[in-house]
C-alpha cells in the first residue's frame, strides 16, 4: 500500500496535533516496512525532505516526500489527514483524524477563527466521505452526540506514543536534563498549552490550597506552549515564579520531557475536556503517578492507573495531588501499573490497527 500523509503540522506546530503527526509517520516508518509512505505539507504545498528529516528524524527509504502540486503523480492509495486539513480534490480516499470536538462542546475555550477552521474541515471530511478516526472512545461518543454520526462510522485508533517515553531512563542523562532545565529538588509537573481548556488557572488555585509544608517541599513545574485566550494567566504564572513556587518552561520535548516525567513526584493534568489527553499517556509510559480529570477521555486513557478528580473543583484537584504526595504506596502502585497500560499506545499496538483502517478505506474507494 502507498500511504500519503500530510505531515505539515509536524513541521509548523508544537502541540498535540504536531506530536500525533510526528509519531504517526515515525511509527509507520518503523513498523510498516512493507508499505510505502509519501509525506506532504498541505499547508505550504512544498517539498522539503530536509525539513521533514530535521523534525521527524532519519527517514527510511520507504518514506518519500512530494510536492502537493505533484499530488496525483504520487500515486498514493490512501491519504491520511491528521491535521484538520483535507487534501485537494482528486486525492484518493482520505482518512481524517478527529482529535476532539471541543470546538462544539466547549466553544468558550476556542477562538472564533479556530472554531470556523475546524468545523469547515470536519464538514469537508464528511461531505467527501472520508473515513474518520476518533482518537478515543470518548471522542467517538462526542461525534455521535454532536454530529449525529452513527458509531460505526468512526474508527477508534489512539495516537502513537513517542518510544522515548519509557520508565527506565539513564540516570545521568535525566539528571543533566533537569539541571539544564533549571530544576533542583522534588517537583510536580503540569504539561499543556496556555488555553482555558487545560484548566491551568484552577490548578494554580488548587496548588495554593495545598498544606504549606507540601508546597515548600515541592516545586510546580509547568511546561506550556503559547496557546490562546490566556487572560491573566501568564502574569499570574510570572508572579508565582518570582515567589519561587512555580517554574515555567516552554517548548520542552523528546528526551528532556521524558526526563521530567520520570523524575516528577506526580503529573497533574486537570483538563476540562480532551479528545485523548497525551500528557496522561506519556506520563504513565514514563512511570509517573498521574492526577487527572474524571471526565471526557481521561478515565479511558488512564484505565485505572491514575487518581481521578473533578476538574471544576479546585478543592478536589488539591485533594488528589495531596493524596498522591502523601501516600507512598499509592504512588508506587501508580508507577508500577502506568507503563504496562501505556503499552496500548505503543507503535507495535497501534500501527496494525491503523493499517486495517487504511486497508478498509482503500477497499471502500474501490467499490
Partner 1 sequence: MSVGWLLLVLVAAVGLAAVFARKILRRLRRVRRLENSEASVAKAVADGRLPRATGEALLQHLEGLRRECSEEKGS
Interactions with partner 1, residue window 75-104 (CB under 8 A): 104
Indicate the pairing of strand 219-223 with strand 307-309. unpaired
CB 299, min distance to partner 1, A: 26
What would the grid cell of residue 286 be? 514514563
Position 43 contacts partner 1 (CB under 8 A): no
* Beta carbon nearer to partner 1, 113 or 212: 113
* Beta carbon nearer to partner 1, 1 or 104: 104
β-sheet bridge partners, residue 267: 189, 290
* Beta carbon nearer to partner 1, 48 or 115: 115
Position 61 contacts partner 1 (CB under 8 A): no
* Beta carbon nearer to partner 1, 120 or 173: 120
Position 123 contacts partner 1 (CB under 8 A): yes
Among 1, 55, 59, 126, binds partner 1 (CB under 8 A): 126
d(CA 154, CA 138): 11
* Beta carbon nearer to partner 1, 129 or 175: 129
Indicate the pairing of strand 187-191 with strand 154-156. unpaired
Q: Give the burial class of 350: count Cβ atoms within 10 A of its Cβ; 0-12 exposed, 13-18 middle, 19 or more buried.
A: buried
Q: Which residue has the cell 475546524?
A: 118
Backbone φ, ψ for residue 97 (5° rounding): -85, 125
Among 50, 61, 73, 127, binds partner 1 (CB under 8 A): 127
CB 86, min distance to partner 1, A: 11
Interactions with partner 1, residue window 130-159 (CB under 8 A): 146-150
* Beta carbon nearer to partner 1, 116 or 176: 116
Position 120 contacts partner 1 (CB under 8 A): yes
Q: Helices marked H in 210-327 — which ranges?
A: 212-217, 233-243, 254-263, 278-285, 298-302, 314-326
Position 113 contacts partner 1 (CB under 8 A): yes
What would the grid cell of residue 367 be? 467499490
DSSP state string for 192-239: S-SSGGG-HHHHHHHHHHS-HHHHHH-EEEEE----S--TTHHHHHHH
Position 177 contacts partner 1 (CB under 8 A): no
Position 129 contacts partner 1 (CB under 8 A): yes
Q: Which residues bind partner 1 (CB under 8 A)?
A: 104, 112-113, 115-116, 119-120, 122-124, 126-127, 129, 146-150
Amino acid at each position: 500500500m502507498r500511504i500519503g500523509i500530510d505531515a505539515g503540522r509536524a513541521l509548523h506546530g508544537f502541540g498535540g496535533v504536531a506530536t500525533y503527526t510526528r509519531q504517526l509517520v515515525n511509527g509507520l516508518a518503523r513498523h510498516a516496512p512493507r508499505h510505502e509512505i509519501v509525506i506532504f505539507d498541505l499547508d505550504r504545498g512544498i517539498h522539503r525532505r530536509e525539513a521533514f528529516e530535521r523534525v521527524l528524524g532519519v527517514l527510511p527509504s520507504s518514506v518519500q516526500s512530494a510536492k502537493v502540486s505533484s499530488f496525483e503523480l504520487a500515486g498514493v492509495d490512501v491519504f491520511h489527514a491528521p491535521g484538520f486539513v483535507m487534501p485537494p480534490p482528486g486525492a484518493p480516499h482520505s482518512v481524517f483524524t478527529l482529535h476532539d470536538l471541543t470546538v462544539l462542546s466547549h466553544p468558550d475555550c476556542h477562538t472564533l477563527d479556530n472554531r470556523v477552521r475546524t468545523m469547515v474541515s470536519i464538514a469537508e471530511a464528511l461531505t467527501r466521505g472520508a473515513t474518520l478516526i476518533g482518537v478515543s472512545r470518548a471522542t467517538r461518543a462526542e461525534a455521535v452526540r454532536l454530529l449525529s454520526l452513527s458509531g460505526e462510522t468512526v474508527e477508534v485508533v489512539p495516537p502513537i506514543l513517542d518510544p522515548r517515553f519509557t520508565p527506565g531512563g539513564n540516570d545521568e542523562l535525566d539528571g543533566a536534563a533537569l539541571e539544564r532545565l533549571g530544576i533542583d529538588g522534588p517537583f510536580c509537573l503540569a504539561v499543556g498549552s496556555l488555553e482555558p481548556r487545560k484548566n491551568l488557572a484552577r490548578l494554580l488555585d488548587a496548588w495554593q490550597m495545598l498544606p504549606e509544608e507540601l508546597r515548600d517541599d515541592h516545586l510546580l513545574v509547568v511546561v506550556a506552549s503559547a496557546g490562546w485566550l490566556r487572560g491573566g494567566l501568564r502574569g499570574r504564572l510570572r508572579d508565582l515564579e518570582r515567589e519561587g513556587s512555580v517554574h515555567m518552561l516552554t517548548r520542552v520535548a523528546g528526551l528532556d520531557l521524558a526526563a521530567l516525567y520520570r523524575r516528577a513526584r506526580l503529573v497533574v493534568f486537570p483538563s476540562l475536556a480532551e479528545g485523548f489527553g497525551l500528557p496522561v499517556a506519556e506520563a504513565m509510559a514514563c512511570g509517573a503517578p498521574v492526577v487527572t480529570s474524571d471526565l471526557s477521555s481521561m478515565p479511558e486513557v488512564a484505565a485505572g492507573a491514575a487518581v481521578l478528580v473533578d476538574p471544576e473543583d479546585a478543592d478536589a484537584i488539591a485533594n488528589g495531588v495531596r493524596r498522591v504526595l502523601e501516600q507512598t504506596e499509592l504512588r508506587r502502585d501508580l508507577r508500577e501499573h502506568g507503563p504496562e497500560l501505556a503499552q496500548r499506545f505503543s507503535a507495535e499496538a497501534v500501527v496494525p490497527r491503523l493499517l486495517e483502517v487504511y486497508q478498509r478505506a482503500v477497499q471502500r474507494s474501490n467499490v
